[in-house]
Amino acid sequence: MKDKQAVLRRVDFLQVEQQLPPVVPLESIKLEADVFICALGFEERCPAISARIALHSPSPSFALGLTAVYSSNREDNEHNREALTSNISKFCVRSGLLAADQPDLLSHELNQQLGALAPRSGRLHVIFDISTASGNLILSVMDALIKHSRTRPLDLTIAYSEPEEYLPTSAQYASDSESLVLTACRPGDESSVHEYGVAEVETNELYPGKSNENREEFILAVPAYRTERLSRCLQRLTDQPLADPDNFIFWILGSPPDPRRSFRLEMQRKVISSLLGEMSGHEQGAGAVGDALNETNSIEASTLHYQQILQVVIEQVDAQAGKNISVVHMGSKMQAVGMALALAVRSEVTVCHARPDRYNASLYSLGIGPVWGVRFEDLSQVVHNLGRIGTLELQAKIDQQGKNLR
């Protein structure tokens, strides 16, 4: 007998988006916490956030400061060690190191360190400074923090300092975009912008994914501005990107919110178009935008507002369910935060990454720019809310007294 009606709705991203905190200028976030995590990088902005916290903390108020150390560019990174260590010692009671390039060790160590802490309040408050953290490091730390948040309440603040200027500059690009695109698609050397070589191509063991037998591959590629590492990852993930790569690669391009940097998006488009031409053998000529990238095989996502990539990844993974899905993340740092949150609720996705032989420290970025922050007051609740995407809601059509009585 049926006398009551209901409607079934699928929960979509927009229903949970409003529960995601926005990226705001860092000064609007109170920088008090139990734990500070950062990376020892070579860029000038490396100690910027810690200096800011040290300035407002006359005595150590954080229990722990953890610095992730890379195995590449050690001597370049060392230039920032003293400033970073000095800053951290001003506001952290004790400090420790993390292995930035070894996700298994990093995750284990971070979990141990956090587990040993008694937070000042009911929640453990962590500040993660991603200013010089690599995408893979951000994914590893976020995974460890999300898992830890399942065992105790965790309040996470992401802090991020932009550089003053990225390389190539807009002036450099304006004067010689064709040559910049050409060199971006070729193997690099000590004179290349950003980096050169490929040290290793690996799966991040914290994101092994859930591959199934006899399924097509699907790759979500978040490119940077060079193709060497990206191509190696694609080569590892699939045998087939020759004719018709549209069927298995979806490109998530980085859209800078600052219009003065929109040339970076244009450059990225040209670089990827060129790569696609090379992959198919039907080259279009370097620098041609052509129609290699279109709305069916690519989308733009903000390099700062992490929610955009979060939405794209979840929607793409759901649309491609049943395929063996991998992510190659070489995008921005804030995009890595969004990616980590998306993968926390889409654990079937495998993360493939490649480390360069070396970053060209003098050709990477310049100065210290605006600082941003985003605060996830209850990290596990954020992930729980995201987990609702794709579930079903059953809503009774009548709303009488006694509704939902159990």
Partner 1 sequence: MEAQAPPHSPRLSDAQREWIKAGPKLPEALVLRKGSIDLTFLILDRDADGRVMDIEARMGMKGFVLRVQDPDDGAVYAAKICSAADYDGGRSERDEQRLANVLRQAGALFAAPIHSGRVVRFDGMPGDEVEFVCFVSDWIDGLTLEALCIQKPEMITGEFIVRAANQVFRAVHFLSHHRLKHDDLHWGNVIVRPPVPGLALTPAEENEYSLCLVDTGSLKDSLQPTGKSHDDHLSMVDILHSLYNAAWRERQLVASSPQFFDRFRMLLEALTDEDPLRHFPTPDLFVAALADLEKASRPDFAIKGEHSFSPFDGISAEHLADDQTLLDLFSQALPWFPSLLATKPVVLSGPRGCGKSMLFRYLSAPTQAKAMVAGAAQTVDSFGVYISCATHLQNNLVWIARKPGRAKELAGSIATYFQLVIAREFVRALGLVNRIPDARARFNLNDATLDQWISWVNAQFPTPIETPRLPRESRLMHFANDLERTAIKVHNTMLQQRSSEVILSDGFLGSITSKLVELNPAFSVYPVVFLLDDYTENRLHKEVQATVNRIVFERRSSHFFKVSCERMGFDAVDSEGVKIDSHREFDEMDAGQHAVEDCTTKDAERFLVALIDKRLARAGWKGRCETLLGSSGDFSNDINLANYIRSDGSRQGRHYFYFGTTHLARLWSGDIATTLQIVKDICIQGDVGPDTTKTVTQSVQHSSIVAISKAYRNRVKDLHPYGQQLSRILEAFGQFARTVLVNGTLNRKQNARRTYRIEMTLPAVDTFIDQLEKVNGAAADIARELLRRSVFNPLRESRGKEGPATRTIRLEMRNIYRPAFGLSLEKADEYLDVKTVEEFASMLIEPSKYLEGRTMSYRLGKNQDRDTRFMFGEEE
Closer by beta carbon to partner 1, 238 or else 365: 238
Task: Choose the stretch contacting partner 1; rule: CB under 8 A; options: 50-58, 81-89, 264-272, 277-285.
Answer: 277-285
User: CB under 8 Å to 167, separation ≥6 — which residues?
Assistant: 193, 194, 363, 364, 365, 366
**Least distance CB 9 / partner 1 (angstroms):** 10
Closer by beta carbon to partner 1, 149 or else 161: 149
Among 15, 57, 85, 102, binds partner 1 (CB under 8 A): 102
Q: Rounded distance, CA 325 to CA 248, Å? A: 9
Closest CA to 45 of 130, 126, 128: 130
Among 177, 280, 284, 381, binds partner 1 (CB under 8 A): 280
Q: Applying CB under 8 A, does 15 fall inside the site for partner 1?
A: no
Task: Choose the stretch contacting partner 1; rule: CB under 8 A; options: 97-105, 153-161, 296-304, 359-367.
Answer: 97-105
Q: Applying CB under 8 A, does 81 fall inside the site for partner 1?
A: no
Task: Choose the stretch contacting partner 1; rule: CB under 8 A; options: 16-24, 37-45, 259-267, 396-404.
Answer: 396-404
Intra-chain end-to-end CA distance of the chain, in Å: 20
**Least distance CB 277 / partner 1 (angstroms):** 10
Q: Rounded distance, CA 5 to CA 400, Å? A: 12
Please give the helix or strand (H or E) that residue 326 lies within, else none. strand 324-329
**Least distance CB 377 / partner 1 (angstroms):** 23
Q: Which of residues 216-255 bind partner 1 (CB under 8 A)?
A: 216-217, 231-232, 234-236, 239-240, 242-244
**Least distance CB 8 / partner 1 (angstroms):** 5
Q: Which of residues 312-331 bind partner 1 (CB under 8 A)?
A: 321-322, 324-325
Q: Applying CB under 8 A, does 380 fall inside the site for partner 1?
A: no
**Least distance CB 110 / partner 1 (angstroms):** 12
Query: CA 302, 307, 313 angle in degrees (round to 5)?
Result: 90
**Least distance CB 94 / partner 1 (angstroms):** 22
Q: Applying CB under 8 A, does 107 fall inside the site for partner 1?
A: yes
Q: How many residues bind partner 1 (CB under 8 A)?
A: 73
Q: Applying CB under 8 A, does 71 fall inside the site for partner 1?
A: no
Closer by beta carbon to partner 1, 175 or else 247: 247
Instruction: Evaluate the omega torsion of the peptide bond into residue 168 and state whether it is cis, within 30 degrees of 0.
Output: yes
Q: Which of residues 176-205 bind partner 1 (CB under 8 A)?
A: 187, 198, 200-203, 205
Q: Applying CB under 8 A, does 390 fall inside the site for partner 1?
A: yes
Closest CA to 358 of 40, 38, 42, 39: 42
Among 347, 362, 367, 370, binds partner 1 (CB under 8 A): 347
Give the ranges where 149-227 is alpha helix by DSSP (H).
170-184
Q: Are 309 and 329 in contact (CB under 8 A)?
A: no
Q: Applying CB under 8 A, does 10 fall inside the site for partner 1?
A: yes
Q: Which of residues 349-368 bind partner 1 (CB under 8 A)?
A: 350, 354
In DSSP notation, 99-160 reads: ETT-HHHHHHHHHHHHHTPPPSSSSEEEEEE-TT--HHHHHHHHHHHHHHTTTS-EEEEEEE
CB atoms within 10 A of CB 401: 5
Closest CA to 224 of 187, 184, 188: 184
CB atoms within 10 A of CB 318: 14
Q: Are 209 and 191 in contact (CB under 8 A)?
A: no
How far, CA to CA in Å, does 31 sit from each of 50, 80, 156?
Answer: 10, 22, 11
Burial of 363 (0-12, 13-18, 19+ CB in 10 A): middle
Closer by beta carbon to partner 1, 129 or else 217: 217
Closer by beta carbon to partner 1, 270 or else 333: 270
Q: Applying CB under 8 A, does 295 fall inside the site for partner 1?
A: no
